[in-house]
Amino acid sequence: MKALDVAYKDLLRHTRSLFVWVMVFGAPLLIAGLIYFAFSGLGSGGGQLQLPVTRVQVANLDQPGSQLGGFAAGQVLLQFLQDPDLANLLQVTAAADEASARQAVDRQVADVAMIIPADLSTALAGPGKTASIQLYQDPTLTIGPAIVKGLIDGFVDGFSGSHIASAVLAEQFQAHGLPTDARTVQTVAMQYADWAQAVGESRASGQHPAIVWQAPPRKATSTNPLADLAGKILAGQLIFFSFYTAAATAQSIITEEEQGTLARAFTTPTPRTTILAGKFLAVLLLVLGQIVVLATVSSLLFGVRWGQLPSVTAAIVALVTAATGFGVFLMSFAKSTRQAGLLSGIILTVLGMAGGLFSVGVETLPKAFAALSKMTPHGWALQAWKLSLAGAGLDELLLPAGVLVLFGAGFFTAGALMFRRRLA
């Protein structure tokens, strides 16, 4: 009961501190908010991250022969580019001829003109033939034309196999001393082209006929990439500031030691362990409150979906345990409040950096950095929160959450023992 009295008193004092309000709630929200709004400048409408739509004029000169069995590569390519899924990237219109397509770019009515050659179907379906798709672009643009080129590359790659299949078949005929059967080669090339076309269509709808994708069942978290980014950034801030809050709150032991109130408390008929337990409890409760408030507010303000409730709960419990334990441990080394401030500032910033808290948006970090982050509680905390953000189930969070709890328990035990010894 007395431990609760100590914890209540500490929390009451913290609520009256402007520093606590700023550092516990204000700063992390402000930083995440600034980054969120900085990124939202790239997008428009409902916070969706959008690139400018590239206007493409297509002059389809492709003339598929009757021997191709109705296969019309130019038309397939045009339909592929006009797929509704690409509407937020491309605005594709058919031009009457090559000249009008080029003129549209010159008059800046279009960003890219695409000239599909007359022999595209023949080239894609038959062996030993080539054809070139011409792109004519506004020289001031980079991203839009690059996207168009990338899409065409993907499309053409799908048909390259028919070339290879035709060539191999022709070689096999020759190797076995047989006359080349043009009809058979043509049929094989067409079958391959049909398959490539089917793959292309399937890919457009997110499927692949030869590959079955599997992943642990996850609930969709967010379809808003900006909210996802804000979520990751805020997770980093949340972790950094929760460790900071724990250290700053645990620092009150040293503050009270200096102010004489701790010594006075030790002259009352309350065991020292009870007093210390109360102070540790205050640290834990404040960190818990901070995380819950920040998670809730960021969800409301930035639309961050933190994940499934059991996963978020596990991430919170693990982070609270680790932050509290580490805060107590860190402060047990400090001899004065001045030293405590320096100690927590330096160590928590370094661990935060090593743990990857300030590079959460960077997906491709060196392996050494990833390994380094796993040596810090911050790195494990970030992993747990990222998993939760991605909609992972509780079973996937068990490892990082478990490691965090072990980290926290170990640090707490060591810190508490050091404080007990010091204040005995």
Site for another protein in 256-315 (CB under 8 A): 259-261, 263-271
Beta carbon nearer to another protein, 2 or 218? 2
CB of 294 to another protein, least distance (A): 24
CB of 16 to another protein, least distance (A): 5
CB of 2 to another protein, least distance (A): 7
Beta carbon nearer to another protein, 15 or 67? 15
CB of 353 to another protein, least distance (A): 33
CB of 11 to another protein, least distance (A): 12
Beta carbon nearer to another protein, 37 or 266? 266
CA 358 to chain centre: 14
DSSP one-letter string for 84-108: GGGTTTEEEEE-SSHHHHHHHHHTT
The DSSP 8-state label assigned to residue 130 in this structure reads -
Beta carbon nearer to another protein, 132 or 261? 261
Beta carbon nearer to another protein, 20 or 90? 20
SS3 category, 397: helix
Beta carbon nearer to another protein, 226 or 248? 248
**Spatial distance between the Cα atoms of 423 and 262, rounded to a whole number of angstroms:** 9
160: contact with another protein by CB under 8 A: no
**Spatial distance between the Cα atoms of 24 and 293, rounded to a whole number of angstroms:** 10
Total residues found in the chain within this entry: 424
CA dihedral 17, 19, 21, 26 (to 10 degrees): 170
Number of amino acids touching another protein (CB under 8 A): 20
Beta carbon nearer to another protein, 223 or 268? 268
Alpha carbons within 13 A on the beta-carbon side of 98: 10
**Spatial distance between the Cα atoms of 121 and 74, rounded to a whole number of angstroms:** 7
CB of 266 to another protein, least distance (A): 6
Beta carbon nearer to another protein, 15 or 132? 15
DSSP one-letter string for 144-166: HHHHHHHHHHHHHHHHHHHHHHH
CB of 12 to another protein, least distance (A): 7
Site for another protein in 1-60 (CB under 8 A): 2, 5, 9, 12-13, 16-17
The angle that helices 309-331 and 377-389 make with each other, rounded to 10 degrees, is: 160
Site map 230..259 versus another protein, x via CB under 8 A = -----------------------------x
Site map 361..390 versus another protein, x via CB under 8 A = ------------------------------
As a whole number of Å, the end-to-end CA separation of the chain is 22
Specify whether the CB–CB gap between 199 and 172 falls below 8 A.
no
Rg (CA), the chain: 32
Query: Where along the sequence are the contacts to another protein (CB under 8 A)?
Result: 2, 5, 9, 12-13, 16-17, 259-261, 263-271, 424
